[in-house]
Structure 1
Amino acid sequence: MTGRSTPWPGIADDVDQPRANGGPGDDDTLRERLESAADAVDAPDVVFAVSRHGRRTLHCAGTAPPPPVPRQDLRYEIGSASKTFTGLLLAQLVRRGLLTGGEPAAACLDPGRRTGADPVTLAHLITHTAGLPALPADFYRRALPAWRTNPYGRYPAERVTDAFLRYRPRHRPGTRWHYSNFGVAVLGHALSAVSGTAWEDLLATHVLRPLGLSGTALRAEDPKADAVGHGKDGRTPTLAFDAGGFEAAGAVRATPHDLLTFLEAHLDPDGFPPADALRAVRTPVLRRGWGHRHVHTVAWFRHPTDGGPMYFHSGATLGQQAFLGFRPDTGTALAAMCTRRFRAHDPFVTTAYGFLAED
């Protein structure tokens, strides 16, 4: 099997991390499930981190030799799962009365600009109903020379905002759902512009520091602290992801423990400062698809289970993948990461989703 050619198959490290209300003791069934899930992923580095009612269990494995820093202490690129941080940030700004969500994005970016009768609002951008494509029309032309290395890094912030201000949606905003990295990136720049605060500082002030997420950043800072991604073959290292002007859509990198803290806050909002915002991002805001089966909040995809809804979001960069999810009915949170680029029939997301859905 591709990626199993190294002499270290099956290397694993289980770590039990009891929280304030957690007790000692092993859960053999959970450990077996975690080991099975990690083996199914087949990547150089794999971490499945689970929290059940505040008690954490992490299983680390991979086809590569263990890095100098334990896998559970590295920061991993979470790609589009970064949008859950952006959604929470917007909800926090709205709950604090700093915004309503109904502000026209163009007016935030260009205060002197006139907007039409149906402008694209901040709420449209975060809910993927702004009528924008997945990426700007000229993104591919600019990104092509670096397609296998760092295509987003060739598309800076000013090009994102310029492309948005020039774009004319084909459909009236709010009438159709289309997943858009472009739209959430624009939201990040609009929030920065209207607040007069850089995106990194805005996120740190309203999300990272209140939740105590000291192991979360928007760019690689230390080779010893950041996980190294790999190509589809599971062997070729990739460069650290550069989000360019798409920071709000995919720049977050974080440790498994920080991601569990982030998810635990959603499970038990009362224990964290932005409690109202954490509750707000669990509220469904739209339905789409045949029979309106697909439910979304401002930050999460929401699917039903026998016991109640589960919330999740996945993400990928050119060399890593991530899955975040939580289930209020079972008090379970899952943060899963791997350092192998998505390929056809990749098992990572389906494995992580199945693990949480069957919990």
Structure 2
Amino acid sequence: MRVAAPLLLCLASLANAFFPSSYLKGAPSQDLCPIPPDPYASPSQVKVKLMTALEQLTKDISELVKNDVGGTVVNVVYRDAVIWSKGFGVKNMSASGPENIVDGDSIFRIGSVTKVFTAMMMLQLRDMGSIDSLYSDVTTVLPELKIKNPFKHKRSITFDQLASHMSGLPRETPCPSIFFEGCNASFNEIYANLSRMELTYPPGTWPQYSNLGVAVLGRALEKVAGDTWEHMLERMILKPLGMSSTGIKPNVMNHLAVGYAPDGTVAKLIDIGFEAPAGQLYSTANDLSKLMMSIMNNIDPLFPSNNSLLDSETLREWMQPVYMYKDGRGFGRPWELVPITNYTLRTKGGSINGYSAEFIMAPEIKTGVVIMSSCLGCPSFRNVTERGMAMISTLSSHLFDTDLLPPVNLPLNLQEFVGSYTGKVFPGRKDVLSVAVGELHGQKVLLGHLGDFAVKLDWKPDMAKDMFQISGRGSWPLPCPFISAGMLGQYVEFLRDTSGEINGMIIEGLFPGIIFVKS
């Protein structure tokens, strides 16, 4: 068959060179050009398939934390469900009994995971029009922010830079003993101390992890909204998502997991004052799972859920990196980006006196892990985090299992669409497209053949009786990205003569005004 345009043939050759494989039965060795599919599996199906892996995860974490003080809770999230939740250890080393075992409702401090909430409120206020742009000069709403800039280029500090550690501000708020005693300095004292300090880097040039930066962001948002950070948090995120166990103080003290140092010393519950938007919050694994699900399940505009705090366009913007290192790691707003097989995890770690936490997502496949620990400095926490990240890879390997494929919706008479279709895309030549019945993962499908490629044609009877859409759902990961941008998603409409027989097709979005006649 001849390809419809030289460009497609060129792209086909390139993609075949880079991604040689065969996905189709009953057709020449061809690659199915896919668009990223939604996972086929439901939470209940995944839980069954992962039973052995989850049992092993329980054993692994039990072994890792067996010598730890305090407790650890791990939730595994998929789509709109927590498919596994397990507590290891106790809430209070001085108490006993089954009610002392930590679980998904036990309250921990989450440290810098708090930054996720502050960044989310920034995006909400931008979308409401309260902030003109993420790239606006923050001093227009927070003139109190004054710091010496020793660099040649006198760039302004923006909202976006504060959220992504690109502001150039020093790491910590200028408040003595903030790590051990908290911070009770007034905001005016903080700003006065800042005015005597210098930027670490010119704004927007290099990442410098900065608790101070996100704290300043939170205080700028207060000026924008005319409300306190705490009240905004409650009305904009916690109440809408039903996160009743999250706040700047533990709401139920008997649910609090006591924080410890590795030697068993009880950690002081400090209040970090001005820096609260960067690290003050208490929460539970189940509450953080609600936040995670609200993010992951609304990122696809075709399948929005009802608990959206941000629209899909903003969520996709939020997931983008701001700065990337050569090894694939980087920073977002305020994500810490970690590459694993096929995906980049958006993570946020947190630690504060006596506590550690990790919030880990692969939003493209709607999977994530929440980890909470009531021991700051226990060596097992890093290993538990790595095990949680590995669990996402394990889980992802089952999301596209072919036995979970939904049935393909196809017309009763597939054969009437089969054949060669000829049209004139360029003067002086005939271009031929062909349609055939093939098999993908054991299911019959309709295929459009373009050079060395076959694209899957999805039936769209809700649009028109003989309307199809060029697709490739069913093959993952992408074997041919070079061609996907120009073809996938285009609609193919088959034409009938007066007797009802198929006699042609049009692909209006790809070849406007050209009718391909069935030969």
Distance in 2 of aligned mates of 1:209 and 1:252: 15
Distance in 2 of aligned mates of 1:55 and 1:123: 31
The change in CA–CA distance for 1:161 and 1:123 in structure 2 (over 3 A counts) is farther
What residue is the counterpart of 1:104 in the other structure?
A: 137
What residue is the counterpart of 2:89 in the other structure?
A: 62
Q: Which stretch shows the higher mean deviation, 154-163 or 77-86?
A: 154-163
Preserved CA contact (<8 Å) 2:64 2:383: no
Report whether the alignment pairs 1:214 with 2:249.
no
Distance in 2 of aligned mates of 1:275 and 1:256: 22
- The structure that is helix-richer by fraction is 1
Instruction: Quote how far apart the aligned CAs of 1:67 are.
Output: 4.8
What residue is the counterpart of 1:143 in the other structure?
A: 177
Distance in 1 of aligned mates of 2:233 and 2:215: 14
What residue is the counterpart of 2:500 in the other structure?
A: none
**CA offset digits 1:165-224 (Å, max 9, x no partner):** 444324321111100111111111111122211010112222222322222111234321
Instruction: Quote how far apart the aligned CAs of 1:260 are.
Output: 0.7
What residue is the counterpart of 1:46 in the other structure?
A: 72
The higher radius of gyration belongs to 2
**CA offset digits 1:284-332 (Å, max 9, x no partner):** 2222x3x373232213112222222211111111101111101235432
Task: Give the TM-score of the pair, scaled to structure 1.
Answer: 0.82
The count of residues paired between Structure 1 and Structure 2 equals 328
Preserved CA contact (<8 Å) 2:73 2:102: no
Task: Give the TM-score of the pair, scaled to structure 2.
Answer: 0.58
Preserved CA contact (<8 Å) 2:171 2:208: yes
Distance in 1 of aligned mates of 2:119 and 2:62: 29
**CA offset digits 1:92-119 (Å, max 9, x no partner):** 2112222112232333223899999522
Distance in 2 of aligned mates of 1:275 and 1:197: 20
Preserved CA contact (<8 Å) 2:73 2:88: yes
Distance in 2 of aligned mates of 1:335 and 1:156: 34
The letter of the residue matching 2:336 is F
Counterpart of 1:73 in 2: which secondary structure? Answer: coil
Distance in 2 of aligned mates of 1:83 and 1:112: 19
The letter of the residue matching 1:50 is V
What residue is the counterpart of 1:224 in the other structure?
A: 254
What residue is the counterpart of 1:125 in the other structure?
A: 162
| 1:140-179 correspondence to structure 2 within 5 Å | 142-143=176-177, 150-179=180-209
What residue is the counterpart of 2:453 in the other structure?
A: none
The letter of the residue matching 1:37 is I
Report whether the alignment pairs 1:264 with 2:293.
yes
Instruction: Quote how far apart the aligned CAs of 1:251 are.
Output: 1.0
What residue is the counterpart of 1:313 in the other structure?
A: 348
Preserved CA contact (<8 Å) 1:85 1:299: no
Distance in 2 of aligned mates of 1:166 and 1:273: 42
What residue is the counterpart of 2:320 in the other structure?
A: 283
Equivalent position to 1:247, from 276, 281, 286: 276
Preserved CA contact (<8 Å) 2:79 2:366: yes
The change in CA–CA distance for 1:34 and 1:156 in structure 2 (over 3 A counts) is farther
Preserved CA contact (<8 Å) 1:323 1:349: no
The letter of the residue matching 2:86 is H
The letter of the residue matching 1:293 is G
The change in CA–CA distance for 1:127 and 1:327 in structure 2 (over 3 A counts) is same
Distance in 2 of aligned mates of 1:265 and 1:77: 21
Preserved CA contact (<8 Å) 1:219 1:241: no
Instruction: Quote how far apart the aligned CAs of 1:134 are.
Output: 0.9
Preserved CA contact (<8 Å) 1:38 1:47: no
What residue is the counterpart of 1:353 in the other structure?
A: 386
Instruction: Quote how far apart the aligned CAs of 1:33 are.
Output: 0.6
Distance in 1 of aligned mates of 2:56 and 2:147: 59
Q: Which stretch shows the higher mean deviation, 152-161 or 27-36?
A: 152-161
Preserved CA contact (<8 Å) 2:147 2:198: no
Distance in 2 of aligned mates of 1:76 and 1:114: 35
Preserved CA contact (<8 Å) 2:69 2:262: no
Report whether the alignment pairs 1:134 with 2:171.
yes
The letter of the residue matching 1:266 is I
Distance in 1 of aligned mates of 2:130 and 2:277: 19
Distance in 2 of aligned mates of 1:35 and 1:202: 41
Distance in 1 of aligned mates of 2:363 and 2:308: 19
Instruction: Quote how far apart the aligned CAs of 1:77 are.
Output: 0.5
Counterpart of 1:232 in 2: which secondary structure? Answer: coil
Preserved CA contact (<8 Å) 2:145 2:194: no
Q: Which stretch shows the higher mean deviation, 330-339 or 174-183?
A: 330-339
The letter of the residue matching 1:168 is E
Equivalent position to 1:32, from 56, 62, 73: 56
What residue is the counterpart of 2:217 in the other structure?
A: 187
Preserved CA contact (<8 Å) 1:86 1:299: no
Instruction: Quote how far apart the aligned CAs of 1:130 are.
Output: 1.2
Instruction: Quote how far apart the aligned CAs of 1:21 are.
Output: 5.8
What residue is the counterpart of 2:104 in the other structure?
A: 72
Q: Show structure 2 runs of 5+ residues with no match.
A: 1-41, 299-303, 395-519
Counterpart of 1:326 in 2: which secondary structure? Answer: strand
**CA offset digits 1:207-252 (Å, max 9, x no partner):** 222322222111234321322101121x222222322211110012
